[in-house]
Structure 1
Amino acid sequence: MTTLYTAEHEWITTDTPASATVGITVHAQDALGDVVFVDLPAVGATFNQGDVAGVVESVKAAADLYMPVTGEIVEVNEALRADPSLANSDPLNTGWFFKVKVADAGQFAKLLDATAYDDLVKNS
């Protein structure tokens, strides 16, 4: 499994070359504060890389959730819908947002590795 990041603070972990899991980073949930609502995409919906695929609302603000790669939503985290605080308490594991069937694995090359993402956060 490889985890990559977007400049908009989403993470994506490849489960296989054709499927991946998406969530928000620790930095994103820290900036948002207490998450109180998530608007998850519908299973079967397709998005292009960079499209808005959902919304995260916190006590401070609302933020769009961007699609890291082009693909089809194959599963959403119903536990997160029921308990949005999972995005705060465990954003990299049980707080995942959705799983995607990846249409173009070549798009992973446009994402940030952990070092590049850490540099982005430090310099923002």
Structure 2
Amino acid sequence: MSTVNRAAVEAVLRQYTDPYLNQDPVSAGCVQAIDIDGGQVQVRLQLGYAAGLFKNGWAQVLQTAVENIAGVYRARVQIDCVVQAHKAQAQIPGLANVKNVVAVASGKGGVGKSTTAANLAL
């Protein structure tokens, strides 16, 4: 049984490309922690965008890949999504409890701008 190290785990993670960043999670700076305890490996990734629809599937794929490393008998991959609020213009005070503002616009009337804005607000 070979010993597992951080370089081996990172090498496996580099083989997979984040579909939105078009980079592997190591190069994109998404790897927050790699904990190795004998044959058990825990990887924690943090994505800077909303990835709720695919993060569990991607975590499963990465977990399987890490478990295929010689010496690893159990792996766990946790993916967190943390969307940072953007800075507002310096001279305009921010709205309380509002992280982001989304503009809904169109050059034509009757295309559903109000409906879209109301659904986004909900």
TM over 0.5: no
**Greater relative contact order (CA < 8 Å, ≥ 6 in sequence):** 1
- Tell which structure's C-alpha radius of gyration is larger: 2
Higher strand share: 1
* TM-score, length of structure 1 as denominator length: 0.28
* TM-score, length of structure 2 as denominator length: 0.28
